C-alpha cells in the first residue's frame, strides 16, 4: 500500500485514477481547486464516492500556492500523480496567462516541493498537442516538438522540459505522459465528443472542421489511459526522465466519430463545416511502442466499443 498525491483528482481523468488507486488499497491525497473552467458541481460528483473512503483526503487548494503545496508534500507521499492543470486548446488562446500560471507555475511548485521533501517519483500529464502541426504518422517521442500551435501546448512542453531538469539536478524519477484526446464516462463537457452528443440529442447544428475526412484524432478510451497512468506510477522508480505516448494508435476522422455517435444516440446530426481554427492541429496519431516497451501497455478499447460506453454514460446523465 502506498500514499499517492493526486493533483486534479476531482477532474475527468484524475477521478478515474483515484477510483482505481483506492480500489487497490492505496491511500490518496487529492489536491484540486474546483475551478470554474467547467461546472465544479460535476467535479464534486466525481469525488462523491471517494469522500466515503477512509483512505482518501481532500485538500481544496491551488497547485500554484507554494505554501499549501509545501505543507501537503511535507507529508511525504510515496509518489505524485500530477494531473491538475488548465486543459483545452481554444480556451488557452483566450487566457494564456492562466495556462502559464496553472500549468507551468503549478508544475514547478510541485516539483520544487517534491525535491525539498525528497519525494522522488512524479508522473504527470502532458499532451499530444506538443506535436503541433506534425503530419508524419505516427508521432514518436523522438519527434521534433518545438513548434507548439497553442499556448496550452507550449505550457505542456515547458513542463516536460522542467521535468527533465529536475531529473538532472535532483535525480528525481519523472515520467511525462502524452495523452491523446481521452474520452469516456465523466468526459469533460468542453470536449468535442460531449458537445457533438449534446448537439445531436438536442437537434442543434454541430460544427465539424475541414471539408471532408482530413481532421483526425487518436481518441483514447479513459480506461486505457488510466491503465497506462497506473503502469507509469508503478514503474517510475526504475526510470530517470521519460516521455511516453498514451494513445489509441488508430486515428479516426471526426466525421467517422460523429457517425458512431449518431448510431449510438439513434439520431442524425445536423452538420456545419468550418475551417480548422488557429491553435488546433490537423491530426494526432500515437506511436505507442515506447509505452509497450517500458510499461507493457497497449490500448485495448476499439473506438466503436468505447463510444458505446461513453453514450451509455452520457444518456444516464441526461436522465438524472
Ligand atoms: N482529457 C484529455 O483529452 C487530455 C489530453 C491531453 C492532456 N490532458 C491533461 O490531463 C490532465 C487532466 O485532464 P482532464 O481532461 O481530466 O481535465 P479536468 O479539467 O477534468 O481535470 C483537471 C482538474 O485539475 C483541477 N485544476 C486545474 N487547475 C488547477 C490548479 N491551478 N490547482 C488545483 N487544481 C487545478 C481542475 O479543477 C480539474 O478538476 C490535464 O493536465 C490535461 O491538460 C488531458
| Range(s) of the domain holding residue 29 | 3-183+220-248+285-300
Domain-located, residue 149: yes
Domain-located, residue 213: no
Length reported for the chain: 320
- Give the Cα-Cα-Cα angle 226, 229, 235 (nearest 5 degrees): 140
Q: Mean pLDDT throughout 79-97?
A: 96
Q: What are the C-alpha distances in Å from 27 to residues 5, 22, 139, 210, 265?
A: 8, 6, 35, 46, 38
Residues with CB under 6 A from ligand 1: 8, 10-14, 31-35, 37, 43, 62-64, 83-87, 102, 106, 125, 127, 179, 181-182, 188
Q: Mean pLDDT throughout 288-292?
A: 98
Domain-located, residue 134: yes
Average pLDDT, rounded, for the chain: 96
**pLDDT in the model for residue 238:** 95
Pocket test for ligand 1, best of 5, 6, 9, 11 (most atoms within 8 A of CB): 11
pTM (2 d.p.): 0.97
pLDDT at 153 over 90: yes
Alpha-carbon distance of 125 to 102, in angstroms, equals: 13
Alpha-carbon distance of 303 to 137, in angstroms, equals: 19
- If 0-12 CB within 10 Å is exposed, 13-18 middle and 19+ buried, where does residue 266 land? exposed
What is the domain count for the chain?
A: 1
Cα(212) to centroid(ligand 1), Å: 31
Domain-located, residue 151: yes
> What pLDDT digit, counting tens, does each position of 108-131 carry?
999 999 999 999 999 999 999 999
Cα(13) to centroid(ligand 1), Å: 7
Look at ligand 1, atom 28, and give the residue with the nearest C-alpha: 85
pLDDT at 319 over 80: no
Look at ligand 1, atom 30, and give the residue with the nearest C-alpha: 62
Q: Mean pLDDT throughout 275-298?
A: 94
Q: What is the DSSP string of 187-204?
A: --TTSHHHHHHHHHHHT-
Cα(266) to centroid(ligand 1), Å: 31
Cell of 155: 505550457
Q: What are the C-alpha distances in Å from 250 to residues 98, 201, 218, 260?
A: 33, 27, 6, 15
**pLDDT in the model for residue 192:** 94
CATH value at residue 160? 3.40.50.720
Pocket test for ligand 1, best of 6, 13, 36 (most atoms within 8 A of CB): 13
Tell me the Cα Rg of the chain.
19
- DSSP annotation of 28 reads E
**pLDDT in the model for residue 315:** 94
Q: Which residues are catalytic?
A: 152
Q: How confident is the model at residue 320 (pLDDT cuts 50, 70, 90)?
A: low
According to DSSP, the residues that pair with 31 across neighbouring strands are 7, 59
Beta strands per DSSP E along 118-240 = 121-127, 173-179, 182-183, 205-209, 216-217, 220-221
Domain-located, residue 195: no
297 φψ region: left (φ > 0), alpha (ψ -120 to 50), beta (else): beta
Domain-located, residue 214: no
Cell of 319: 436522465
Cell of 132: 503541433
Domain-located, residue 273: no
pLDDT at 208 over 70: yes
Q: What are the C-alpha distances in Å from 180 to residues 102, 148, 251, 291?
A: 20, 15, 10, 13
What percent of the chain is predicted at pLDDT more than 70?
Answer: 100
Domain-located, residue 205: no
**pLDDT in the model for residue 211:** 87
> What pLDDT digit, counting tens, does each position of 27-67 carry?
999 999 999 999 999 999 999 999 999 999 999 999 999 99
Closest CA to 44 of 88, 35, 28, 55: 35
Beta strands per DSSP E along 95-197 = 121-127, 173-179, 182-183
**Residue with grid cell 527533465, as numbered in its chain:** 164
Q: Mean pLDDT throughout 85-98?
A: 96
According to DSSP, the residues that pair with 209 across neighbouring strands are 274
Cell of 189: 463537457
Half-sphere exposure of 200 (CA within 13 A, CB side): 23
Look at ligand 1, atom 38, and give the residue with the nearest C-alpha: 11
Closest ligand 1 atom to the C-alpha of 126?
7
Cα(188) to centroid(ligand 1), Å: 9
Alpha-carbon distance of 24 to 300, in angstroms, equals: 21
pLDDT at 264 over 70: yes
pLDDT at 212 over 90: no
Amino acid at each position: 500500500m502506498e500514499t499517492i498525491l493526486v493533483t486534479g483528482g476531482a477532474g475527468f481523468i484524475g477521478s478515474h485514477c483515484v477510483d482505481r488507486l483506492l480500489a487497490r488499497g492505496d491511500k490518496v491525497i487529492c489536491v484540486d481547486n474546483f475551478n470554474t473552467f467547467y461546472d465544479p458541481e460535476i467535479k464534486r460528483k466525481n469525488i462523491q464516492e471517494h469522500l466515503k473512503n477512509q483512505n482518501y483526503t481532500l485538500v481544496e487548494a491551488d497547485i500554484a500556492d507554494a505554501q499549501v503545496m509545501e505543507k501537503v508534500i511535507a507529508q511525504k507521499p510515496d509518489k505524485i500523480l500530477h494531473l491538475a492543470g488548465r486543459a483545452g486548446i481554444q480556451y488557452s488562446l483566450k487566457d494564456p496567462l492562466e495556462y502559464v500560471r496553472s500549468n507551468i507555475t503549478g508544475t514547478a511548485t510541485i516539483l520544487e516541493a517534491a525535491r525539498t521533501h525528497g519525494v522522488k517519483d512524479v508522473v504527470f500529464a502532458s499532451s499530444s498537442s506538443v506535436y503541433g502541426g506534425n503530419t508524419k504518422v505516427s508521432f514518436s517521442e523522438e519527434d521534433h516538438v518545438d513548434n507548439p500551435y497553442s499556448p496550452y501546448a507550449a505550457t505542456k512542453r515547458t513542463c516536460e522540459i522542467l521535468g527533465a531538469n529536475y531529473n538532472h539536478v535532483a535525480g528525481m524519477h519523472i515520467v511525462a505522459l502524452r495523452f491523446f484526446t481521452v474520452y469516456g464516462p465523466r468526459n469533460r463537457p468542453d470536449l468535442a465528443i460531449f458537445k457533438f452528443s449534446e448537439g445531436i440529442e438536442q437537434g442543434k447544428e454541430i460544427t465539424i472542421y475541414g471539408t471532408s475526412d482530413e481532421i483526425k484524432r487518436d481518441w483514447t478510451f479513459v480506461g486505457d489511459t488510466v491503465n497506462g497512468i497506473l503502469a507509469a506510477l508503478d514503474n517510475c522508480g526504475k526510470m530517470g526522465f521519460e516521455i511516453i505516448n498514451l494513445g489509441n494508435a488508430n486515428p479516426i476522422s471526426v466525421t467517422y466519430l460523429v457517425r458512431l455517435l449518431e448510431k449510438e444516440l439513434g439520431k442524425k446530426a445536423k452538420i456545419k463545416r468550418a475551417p480548422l481554427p488557429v491553435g488546433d492541429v490537423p491530426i494526432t496519431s500515437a506511436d505507442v511502442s515506447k509505452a509497450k516497451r517500458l510499461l507493457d501497455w497497449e490500448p485495448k478499447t476499439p473506438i466503436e466499443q468505447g463510444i458505446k460506453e461513453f453514450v451509455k454514460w452520457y444518456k444516464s446523465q441526461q436522465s438524472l
